[in-house]
């Protein structure tokens, strides 16, 4: 029997020297600048950029719809004040603790949306502007503001999702709170009991999912607003798309407010705004034709 001139044993899988893969979690930068007790967080910076960008988009949209720049500026201020108050009130109600109104944390998106909606609605009524025309002009600004705000959540490691072994998973060792097995269990997430409480786990970066979805929504809403459409359709499309997006992302969110069986309070609100949005998209009304590009 002849001996093969090739040493096949060198090609056996057990002999292959593969480089060891080690996951390195990304660096989080929750604090941008700190001087003594004064600090600027990356979340605060992104919130500022969100309002700044949304205000610029809103002003351009108001001009297209024949509305005044002064009203646009006032709308940004009303949205900021009403949004922050609404977000804090929602957070305090959710956890049944009025002291949370003064806590730095706890800016809940849907609470901010409701608070900003009420404040802006009052301002539109006070200025006797056409309500649905102003609402249509506001829709793209809401989407782009939401996209930037969620990036702020990502930078501080907040509002993340459930554990995942997928390549998209990201660990937040210095998140708010960190993505340890213990913290995830506190959210009601089913983590393998054999995993140590202090172990850092990779989770779905739901903040980035939402930011990407919001940018897509922004593009769709700009496309709608540049064409003749019935009053209320652009704003209705925003509500419809937001309802779908938030309902789906809540499925993989790490949440402790699943008071409706497997569903969260945010999913209930998502269903409600989806219904309202569908009604506004399908209703027949006077057609508006925004000017410019």
For residue range 105-125, list pLDDT tens digits in order. 667 778 888 888 899 999 999
> Per the structure, how many domains does the chain have?
1
203 falls within a domain? yes
103 falls within a domain? no
pLDDT in tens, 152-190: 889 888 889 999 989 999 999 888 889 999 999 988 888
Reply yes or no on whether the pLDDT at 20 is more than 60. no
Tell me, what's the pLDDT at 272? 95
Reply yes or no on whether the pLDDT at 273 is more than 50. yes
157 falls within a domain? yes
User: Could you tell me the pLDDT band of residue 10, with boundaries at 50, 70 and 90?
Assistant: very low
Least confident of 44-58, 90-104, 134-148, 197-211: 90-104
Helices (H) and strands (E) in the chain, counts: 8, 6
Task: Report the share of the chain in percent with pLDDT over 90.
Answer: 48
37 falls within a domain? yes
Measure the N-to-C terminal CA separation of the chain; round to a whole number of Å: 82
244 falls within a domain? yes
Instruction: Provide the token pair at 272.
Output: 């409600």
104 falls within a domain? no
Reply yes or no on whether the pLDDT at 16 is more than 70. no
Tell me, what's the pLDDT at 22? 46
Tell me, what's the pLDDT at 110? 80
Cβ atoms 203, 170 nearer than 8 A: yes
Domain extent, residue 146, equals 25-67+129-288
pTM of the model: 0.82
| CA gap 201, 210 in Å, rounded | 21
Among 239, 261, 124, 133, smallest CA distance to 188 is for: 261
114 falls within a domain? no
User: Could you tell me the pLDDT band of residue 2, with boundaries at 50, 70 and 90?
Assistant: very low
140 falls within a domain? yes
């Amino acid at each position: 029997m002849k001996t093969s001139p090739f040493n096949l044993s060198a090609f056996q899988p057990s002999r292959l020297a593969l480089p060891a893969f080690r996951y390195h979690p990304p660096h989080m930068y929750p604090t941008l600048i700190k001087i003594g007790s004064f600090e600027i967080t990356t979340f605060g910076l992104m919130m500022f950029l969100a309002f700044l960008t949304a205000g610029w988009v809103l002003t351009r949209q108001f001009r297209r719809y024949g509305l005044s720049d002064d009203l646009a500026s006032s709308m940004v201020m009303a949205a900021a004040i009403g949004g922050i108050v609404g977000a804090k009130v929602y957070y305090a109600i959710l956890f049944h603790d009025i002291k949370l109104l003064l806590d730095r944390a706890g800016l809940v998106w849907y609470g901010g949306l409701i608070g900003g909606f009420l404040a802006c609605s009052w301002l539109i009524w006070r200025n006797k502007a056409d309500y649905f025309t102003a609402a249509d002009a506001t829709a793209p600004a809401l989407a782009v503001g939401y996209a930037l705000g969620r990036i702020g959540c990502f930078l501080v490691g907040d509002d993340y999702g459930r554990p995942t072994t997928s390549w998209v998973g990201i660990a937040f060792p210095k998140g708010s709170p960190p993505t340890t097995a213990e913290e995830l269990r506190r959210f009601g997430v089913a983590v393998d009991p054999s995993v140590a409480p202090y172990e850092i786990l990779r989770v779905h970066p739901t903040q980035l999912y939402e930011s990407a979805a919001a940018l897509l929504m922004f593009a769709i809403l700009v496309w709608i607003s540049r064409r003749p459409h019935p009053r209320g359709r652009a704003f209705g499309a925003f509500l419809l798309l937001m309802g779908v997006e938030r309902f789906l992302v809540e499925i993989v969110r790490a949440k402790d407010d699943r008071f409706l069986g497997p569903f969260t309070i945010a999913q209930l609100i998502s269903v409600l705004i989806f219904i309202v949005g569908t009604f506004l998209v399908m209703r027949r009304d006077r057609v508006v034709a925004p000017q410019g590009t």
